[in-house]
Structure formats: C-alpha cells, structure tokens
Amino acid sequence: MSLWSAAELREATGGTLSASFRAEGLSIDTRTLQPGDLFIALVGEGRDGHDFLAAAMEKGAAGAMVHRAVDAGASSSLPVLRVDDTLAGLHRLGAFARSRFSGDRVAAITGSVGKTTSKEMLRAALSAFGKTHAAVASYNNHWGVPLTLARMPRDARYCVAEIGMNHAGEIAPLSRLVRPDVVLVTTVAKAHVGNMGGIEAIADEKGSIAAGLEPHGIAVLPSDLALFGRLAAAVTGAAAHARILRFGTAAEADVRLVSMQPDADGSAVRADLAGREVTFRLSAPGAHMAMNAVAVLATVIAMGLDPTQAIPALEGFAPLAGRGLRRTVTLPSGPVMLLDESYNANGASMRAALDILRLQPGTRRIAVLGDMLELGDEGPAEHAGLAEAVAGSADLLFASGPLMRHLFDAVPASMQGAHAANAAELAPIVAAAVRPGDAVLIKGSLGSGMRHVVQALDAATSPVPPTVAGG
C-alpha cells in the first residue's frame, strides 16, 4: 500500500485535488526527490518551492502540494493538492500520520548536546525489536518534525522524533504534534544561550518536551545535571502525569553508567540497567558517547523493552559525518586521521570532542575550531574558557572567526597555528599545514562553515578512497 492515498491526502489537509494520485514518499527538495514522491512546495529562507514544480515533475513526482496558483506550463501534467498554506498542510499530514500509527511506541528526543547521535543510537537499538522509523539527519524543527511523522511507514512499529529549538516556545508545540510515549532529554548546556537569556531558561524549554506526552508517558532525564531539579519540575509542569526515569553516574540514577574505559576507537562500558549489570564495547569513542548509550538503554527500558536485546545494535553504532565520524584522509604525502565534528558546537560538545582528540594516536594532534554561535554576551568568555581543554588535548590550534580569536589568543604561542577571519580562508592554510600521521579535529557551529576545512582536506587527497579510521 502507498504511503499516502489521494483520499488520505485530502482528508488530512482539507485541500483540493486537481487529479487523483498516490504518494510513495514526501519531499521538500527536488535535489533529493524520488519518483513517486509528493513534492511539498514550502516557502522560506529565501526560497519558494513553487518555483521548482517543473523540476519536481521532471524528477518523477507523483504530485505537488501548493498554496498558490502555479504556471500551468511548468506543471501541466503534475497533479496538484491545493491547500491554504503548505507548511500548515505539512503539519496536518504529520498529525494525521501520528493518529494512524498502529505500532508500539513513539519516542521524542531533545537536549543541548547529543540529540542526533542519541536519535541514531535509539533507531539502531529499537530496530532489534521491529521496524523503526526515525528522523533523517537533524530534521528537528518546525518543518523537520512534521515531515518525519508524515514519512512514517504504515507498518512502522517504533518511531523516533528529534526535537530542537533556537528560541523559547518552540519545543512544546512539536511535542504535542509527536505525542510521544517516552521523551529523552540528553542534557542541558549553554547552546543558544544568547537567544534564551540563561541556562535555567534552556532547562525550562527542554523540559517542555513533556507537553505532548501520552497519559502513560515516561520522561528519561539526566540525573547528573546540576539543574536536574529544575528540569524535572519543567517536565512535571508540562505533564503532571509524567513518570521520571533517571540516567547518569550518580547513585540515585535508575540506569547508571558504572564505569567506562576509553581508547582511541571506543570504550569498554559497564552499566547498571535498573538492577541488571551489563558490560559491552562501544565503537564510538568518548565519555559522552558512553553516556548517550546509557541514556538510550534507559529509553529502551522506558519503552517496555529488554535493553540487553538492544546492546548488540549499540555495539555496532558508528558516529555520523559531521558528528564525530573518524576517517582516514589519504593525502599525497601520507594518511591523516580526520575527526569530523563540523556540524555543530557548544562548550560541552567542544570539550567532549577535545577529549576524543586527546585519545588519538598521531604525530601531532591538531584542533581546527570555528566559532560557537548564539552565545550572546557570553560568547567571548565561553571561547576563551576552552584554552585549558585545548592545551590538554592538542599540540596545535588553528582557529577561524572573531569569537575563536579569544581562544587563539588564550593558548600558548607554541600552540598557535593560524587564525583566519572565516573557515574558507582557514581551509587552505590547514590543508597545507597537516602532515602524515597527524590527528585532526575539525569542529564549529554549522554557521561557522567548518565544512570548508573538511572539503579542503578531501580535495587534497590522493585517488585512494578514504576509509573509516579504526575499521
């Protein structure tokens, strides 16, 4: 059966159809559209999806959802679902898909650090029990969350939604759309603090993920957090019926990380799963990855499943590109180990990534860091405050952006590789400076453009394809 029938599309959106069609999938981008998809013409960020209807038709779209008149010549044979607003229509599709879900459980994840990694870990863990649907990449905003729901296969047994925020008031409406059975908050840190005004407000916003929690719902929360009490209060304030399951290292945690022995390739983990002690090997290095795994196992328990069945899937988990992927870049002069953390950054995730760099073997350990954004007035101090962590993990620092200048000036002169105004200017400098045997960490907020440095290293490679470091 198709993902969406014509009758369902009409019922869900309240729209009108120019012709009957079925959709096998949904797309908001013609570059990734697959034949049989419904193309949704979203408007925003300087782009209007209505301008790409001809491209959608050429790529084999089954139909298009629009909210304004379109050029008949551009889409003469493309069936159209006309709605009042395409973003609102997408939300209605998401709500309808959630209401028709007949599987076992839906989970929602938020947190200042580790959302996407934990989501992928949970996807892998739940796949041991049945067909699991989860968000693509970091689809965690006002269009990404409803798109995730609307793409959910009819026979999915589990669904994992990721919910993010940049400003207050964004999480609760998305949680109400998802209607999760279980929510996981990975942690609370100073991400987007410039928009939120303080870490207490961030804790309140993260706790609002419980707003859509189903009546039997459970919130999985980090007990080691200094703001645990505030976070728990925010959860129960949003959903008085919520039960709380705690994870962490503290004795009061229901699911506890007992110990972890890290090395360059991963960690040996010992955990207490609500009274049952287990040991396993995690292929993703770093203490934060071990804690993510424990949080995921706590979520599995909250979903009423046996966590020991999920452990083999976690043992095979590997970090994602831009989020800790370790791979070898083969330059003409020899191999370099690249730790790609270029997708995002805040103080907590910077320190976690530097801890991983410290564990890597290599001739030199090089940190290539870009600005951490949305920190407001705390930006300069947050960057300069990384100096000790950098000095303890790296031999050399390359930095880009005005905020990273504060860190660059705070480290010893012997560590100062180069500073540039932006990542595009820094990229060729780094590519020319690295040598065979180096271990290179690249990290910064998405807006700092550290992908330019990754691309520069890839462009300098020999024809030998890169391989994942450590297998």
Give residue-wise pLDDT tens across range 21-73.
999 999 999 999 999 999 999 998 889 999 999 999 999 999 999 999 876 55
> Do 330 and 311 lie in a common domain?
no
Q: Same structural domain for residues 130 and 220? A: yes
Q: Identify whether residues 265 and 122 lie together within a single domain.
A: yes
By mean pLDDT, which of 114-128, 188-202, 437-451 is the weakest?
188-202
Structure tokens, 229: 């009490």
Tell me what the mean pLDDT of segment 413-439 comes to. 96
Please tell me the predicted confidence (pLDDT) of residue 468.
Answer: 42
Residue 366, classed as helix, strand or coil, is strand
280 and 157 in one domain? yes
- pLDDT bucket at 218, cuts 50 / 70 / 90: very high
* Residue 469: predicted pLDDT: 40
Any domain includes 203: yes
Tokens (6 digits) for 209:
């993920």
CATH of the domain at 28: 3.40.1390.10
Q: Is residue 320 part of a domain?
A: no
Give the containing element (helix H, strand E) for 47.
strand 47-48
Strand order in the sheet with 80-82: 16-17, 80-82, 63-66, 37-40, 25-27
What was the pLDDT predicted at 464? 45
* Residue at 82 is within a domain: yes
* Cβ pair 405, 384 in contact under 8 A: no
Whether 219 maps to a domain, the answer reads yes
Residue type, 413: A
- Do residue 265 and residue 224 come from a single domain? yes
Domain that holds residue 338: 325-468
CB 344, CB 446: distance < 8 Å: yes
Domain boundary among 315, 347, 382: 315
Q: Beta strand 416-420 with 396-400: parallel, antiparallel or unpaired?
A: parallel
Judged against a pLDDT cut of 50, whether residue 467 lies above it is answered with: no
In this model, does residue 75 exceed pLDDT 60?
no
> Are residues 181 and 299 part of one domain?
yes
Q: Are residues 407 and 335 in the same domain?
A: yes
25 & 138 share domain: no
Q: What is the pLDDT of residue 344?
A: 82
User: The pTM is what?
Assistant: 0.86
For 285, 295, 310, 415, the CA distances from 278, given in Å and listed in that order, are: 18, 14, 12, 42
The count of domains in the chain is: 3
Across 72-81, 194-203, 320-329, 442-451, the highest mean pLDDT is recorded for 442-451
**Co-location of 69 and 124 in the same domain:** no
Q: CATH number for the domain including 248?
A: 3.40.1190.10
Amino acid at 106: V
User: Quick one: pLDDT band at residue 359, thresholds 50, 70, 90?
Assistant: very high
Q: Are residues 288 and 329 in the same domain?
A: no
* pLDDT (0 to 100) of residue 466: 42
> Is residue 354 a part of any domain in this protein?
yes
pLDDT in tens, 261-278: 989 889 999 999 999 999
> Does 32 share its domain with 59?
yes
> Domain boundary residue among 60, 91, 122?
91
Model pLDDT for residues 151-179, shown as the tens digit of each residue: 999 999 999 999 998 788 999 999 999 99
